Homo-oligomer: A and B are copies of this chain.
């Protein structure tokens, strides 16, 4: 922390989200949090711990297990000018509320000719936990990012967790904030300035490098940075990591600038790559950087199976650091001649 920097503090990703909620709840009466176990239980993953005592049951509203019902209630409340933040315990459960998110929230602005808006925020973690198995270890990020009318962000660091959640709450459109089960406990410096807002639609070069670019979001960025450090040591390669932060809009300008520099790129995601986020990245990068690429755009994600329970199978199926490192090496091995 340099002398000129704004006061900041080291905290977990979870605490950074809580800080953002507390600041926005305090700033704007229209903001309220709604979801299963967000109050009395302090949140299934403790993001909202303590907020019930501070803001009361009207603003920290426990719901029945009825995702379709209370996501839709968020949509309706937002249409009347409220600023609901709906917590979905994990993204897997958003599948029972898809109709409200895709057929309703995402349609309102355009379908009604701009006559009414829907400033709704939905927060939910994606990805694998610790052997949570097939029904509880998914990432549907690309489905939402591919839906016109929605905005989708996925912070990878505590600072961005605070900044992007605040940006989402202040945005006048429906925004999905994708968190991650494993990232909650990661730590980092977080600005205490209550105007610390990370703009939507801006990627971040999380690590500078010259030989290859890794493009990722959310927890995959944490993995990417670890692999970059490891390969710098083991292979002496210099990897640049572009953390997308936003999936819709997508900041391809920043990605393309990096790829133009490194000529090689690996896209990493927690979810299944086929028809996933990394598919879109490959599609845009090969078009934007066709003349710059020395090798095909590569990608790594979760093995294309419903995630198995057994620890060894789960580890093998996830985009673990060994798999990411192997993909980096393979991408670097391809002689430019081949291109």
Contacts and interface: CB of A to CB of B under 8 A. Distances in A.
B306 A106 contact: yes
A7 interface: no
A339 B339 CA distance: 10
A276 B133 CA distance: 26
Contact of A95 (B99, B140, B275): B99
Contacts of A248: 274
Interface of A: 68, 92, 95-96, 98-99, 102-103, 106-107, 110-111, 133-135, 138, 140, 142-143, 145-149, 248, 250, 272-280, 282-283, 286-287, 290-291, 293, 295-299, 304-306, 308, 338-339
Nearest first, the 4 A-B pairs at minimum CB distance are A146-B275, A282-B283, A286-B286, A287-B296
A295 B290 CA distance: 8
B103 A92 contact: yes
Find the residue from A96, A149, A274, A293 having the highest chain B CB count within 10 A: A274
A96 B67 CA distance: 12
Contact of A149 (B102, B103, B306): B306
Find the residue from A92, A106, A134, A138 having the highest chain B CB count within 10 A: A134
Contacts of A296: 286-287, 290
A278 B286 CA distance: 13
A27 to B, nearest CB: 31
Copies held by the complex: 2
Given A102-B95, A111-B306, A305-B110, A279 B275 contact: yes
A110 B106 CA distance: 33
Contacts of A106: 306
Given A282-B283, A282-B286, 12 more contacts: A92-B103, A98-B98, A110-B305, A142-B146, A145-B274, A148-B272, A149-B305, A250-B274, A278-B283, A279-B282, A279-B283, A291-B338
17 contacts: A107-B134, A107-B306, A110-B134, A111-B134, A111-B308, A140-B143, A142-B146, A145-B274, A146-B274, A146-B276, A148-B304, A148-B306, A282-B287, A283-B286, A286-B296, A290-B293, A290-B296
Given A110-B306, A287-B297, A306-B110, A95 B98 contact: yes
Contacts of A135: 103, 107, 111
A133 to B, nearest CB: 7
A149 B99 CA distance: 22
Contact of A338 (B92, B111, B290): B290
A248 to B, nearest CB: 8
B275 A143 contact: yes
Contacts of A134: 107, 110-111
A338 to B, nearest CB: 7
A190 B338 CA distance: 45
A154 to B, nearest CB: 13
Contacts of A295: 290
A191 to B, nearest CB: 31
Contacts of A287: 282, 296-298
